[in-house]
Amino acid sequence: MKYFLLVALFCSFIGLHAQEEPLPRWLTDDEKEQMTTYQFSDYAPQRGSTTPPNGNLRTMAEWEEIEYLTITWVPNYSNTLTGIVAAAVNECKVLIITPNEANVELTLQNAGVSTTNVEYLDRNYNSIWMRDYAANTVYQDWNDSRILVDWIYNRPRPLDNGAPEAYANFLNIPIYQMTSSPTDVIATGGNYMSDGFGTSISSKLIIDENAIGNNFGVTPKTDQELNSIFNSFMGIDNYIKVERLPYDDIDHIDMQIKFLDEETLLVTEYPMGTADGPQIEANLQYLLSNFTSVYGTPYRVIRIVVPPSTSGYYPDNNGYYRTYANQVFVNNTVIVPFYREEYDTIAQRVLEEAMPGYNIVGVNVDGENGETLIASGGAIHCITHSVGVEDPLMISHQRLRDTYDNTNPYEVTAYISHRSGIQSATLYYKIGQNGTYQSISMTDIGGEDWQANIPAQTGELEVFYYIEAESNSGKSITRPMPAPTGYWKFTVFDAGDVGLDNEEIESLKVYPNPATSITVIPVKANAGESGVIELVDATGRRVELIYEGKFPQGEKNHFIDADKFAQGTYSVRIASNKRVEVQSLVIM
């Protein structure tokens, strides 16, 4: 009993102290001293099940439908948190951990935020970093039997470490915990991303913190042993780990790479050679070279440039670790960290183009609202977490690509799954942004796959489409979720443009290839067609604009100095209004 009282007093002290002096995402000096004697196992919650759950486990992807967005209310960041709640309450319920419900309620109401969908858990805390210590939603029977899975938080913050168990009990959701040897795992939610189909990504921090000689007193584990534990608790059968970043003190994956959907990666981009730019690029190349999407195809890559400090500094020169990748999906809304308008406007446009129809809401984390959350090492994703819906209806579809086919219909196949089975599925398509959606009933072709064909189109035009499904129980959902405002699209090019006889430009063989210095790019033009020549890397990113403008009639040589670029495989892309040609170029 004496030990219990001492722990309770200690926890209470830390919680009260945290409210006065908010803890950063990293270890404070006092916490570093505590690490030498702190016994994480003493504070690891073990009142949930510490044996792996049975069943066909599936960890929810971040873009799936959620019932709750969870946050911890730290008054020092009330403006930031108010912005998050305001963006979320029309999409889902918001669960707020706070010992001062009345004060939070008053703050939200004074800001004009509806609290109809807000629930409060009366509990103290150590820090605001909900993502790192909260639990992950897992479905025990693929799309049924919702559970939460937790681990040991890698900070000496016992109140935070116990938060998942507290809100699991509050919401009456079973919780399973990686807290008992030999499956006692030190981890953080910010260093974890899931695609919803058994693939997850973390930095190698997860390996280092659980290795032999770790500072947490947990059972030492190899990489393969970690893979086995995450498979048995969360159904992860493809656990990717990338190299840690030299300038990120936190070393969490949510600062550099994020799944936007099953086949798309949002990647943080720095100016060439700056800060963690080279390592992020190396990590991306590792991913693209060794792994594919759930569809067996290369990942699509969306790059988003990070802003520097107002003085122009990046993390390699004492600038804060600003990133737009640290965002959170809340059903039809995506809440994104904002910094300064000149950068935010570009980021918003990139995200709106990457995720049409989603409501992109920026919440400033860099001082505009009087609070500088980013200075403490994190942003929006770091201070939020999600609880998936109890009754998920999953639609997964690999978007159609641009085509020159004007003859054959365009086959749309989608994986559609619900615990009660699927009553019907409908494909909606329209021609052009201002067209009217037409509906086509999809056919069940077995294996929970449904299929329909968009009729062949002639001419050069854009096709917009989305999918709606209804379960046998009556639940319905669309994908993309914000459809019909949201959509997938592809372009049908004029089939007459395919043949070279009809082309106005023709690229000839690039030489020398492989290249080490001056490289020749010959182009033959039959008329004064406009276009561009560019050098792109393996991810499709332009690294050099070689030529832009009207091509002279006849054959003309263009040049690059290969010595300017890092060794590797590139592509020379020659594009006009009617044709795109790509040649591989190896730079030695």
Spatial distance between the Cα atoms of 73 and 366, rounded to a whole number of angstroms = 18
As beta bridge partners, residue 478 has 468
Spatial distance between the Cα atoms of 217 and 202, rounded to a whole number of angstroms = 21
As beta bridge partners, residue 283 has none
Q: What is the model's pLDDT at position 526?
A: 66
Q: Please indicate, yes or no, whether residues 296 and 421 belong to a single structural domain of this protein.
A: no
List of E strands, 91-243: 93-98, 118-122, 136-139, 146-150, 152-153, 175-177, 186-187, 193-194, 199-203, 238-242
Q: What is the pLDDT of residues 467-516, one digit of tens each?
A: 999 999 999 999 999 999 999 999 998 765 544 344 466 667 887 888 88
Q: Please indicate, yes or no, whether residues 318 and 330 belong to a single structural domain of this protein.
A: yes
Question: What Å distances lie between residue 206 and 188, 222, 279, 489, CA to CA?
Answer: 8, 10, 17, 38
The fraction of the chain above a pLDDT of 70, given in percent, is 93
Cβ–Cβ < 8 Å for 574, 531: yes
Q: What is the pLDDT of residues 210-220, one digit of tens each?
A: 999 999 999 99
Cβ–Cβ < 8 Å for 60, 112: no
Q: Please indicate, yes or no, whether residues 62 and 139 belong to a single structural domain of this protein.
A: yes
Tally the domains of the chain: 3
Q: Please indicate, yes or no, whether residues 127 and 240 belong to a single structural domain of this protein.
A: yes
DSSP 508-525: ---BSSSBSSEEEEEEEE
Q: Domain end: 495, 516, 537, which one?
A: 495
Q: What is the pLDDT of residues 284-323, one digit of tens each?
A: 989 988 999 999 988 999 999 999 998 999 999 999 999 9
Q: Please indicate, yes or no, whether residues 332 and 191 belong to a single structural domain of this protein.
A: yes
CA-based nearest residue to 453, from 504, 496, 400, 499: 400
pLDDT above 90: residue 574: no
pLDDT confidence band for 555 (50 / 70 / 90): confident
Range of weakest confidence among 257-261, 395-399, 495-499: 495-499
Cβ–Cβ < 8 Å for 265, 257: yes
CA-based nearest residue to 352, from 394, 324, 386: 324
Q: What is the pLDDT of residues 2-44, one digit of tens each?
A: 333 333 334 444 444 434 679 999 999 999 999 989 988 777 7
Q: Please indicate, yes or no, whether residues 428 and 514 belong to a single structural domain of this protein.
A: no
Q: Domain end: 440, 474, 495, which one?
A: 495
Exposed e or buried b for every residue in 251-289, given b needs 16+ CB within 10 A? bbbbbbbbbbbbbbbbbbbbeeebbbbebbbebbeebbe
Q: Please indicate, yes or no, whether residues 229 and 129 belong to a single structural domain of this protein.
A: yes
Q: Please indicate, yes or no, whether residues 380 and 399 belong to a single structural domain of this protein.
A: no
Give the amino acid at 533: I
Q: Please indicate, yes or no, whether residues 465 and 508 belong to a single structural domain of this protein.
A: no
Looking from the CA of 36 toward its CB, the CA atoms found within 13 Å total 4
Q: Please indicate, yes or no, whether residues 379 and 407 belong to a single structural domain of this protein.
A: no
Q: Domain end: 462, 478, 495, which one?
A: 495
Q: Please indicate, yes or no, whether residues 193 and 303 belong to a single structural domain of this protein.
A: yes
Domain of 553: which CATH number?
2.60.40.1930
For range 243-259, the mean pLDDT: 95
Q: What is the model's pLDDT at position 392?
A: 98
Two structure tokens written together for 100: 């001062």
What mean pLDDT is reported for the chain? Answer: 90
Cβ–Cβ < 8 Å for 217, 186: no
Q: Which domain holds residue 415?
A: 394-495
Q: Please indicate, yes or no, whether residues 311 and 225 belong to a single structural domain of this protein.
A: yes
H-run or E-run covering 228: helix 223-234
Domain of 309: which CATH number?
3.75.10.10
DSSP 160-175: HHTHHHHHHHHHT--E
Q: Mean pLDDT highest for which of 96-105, 519-528, 550-559?
A: 96-105
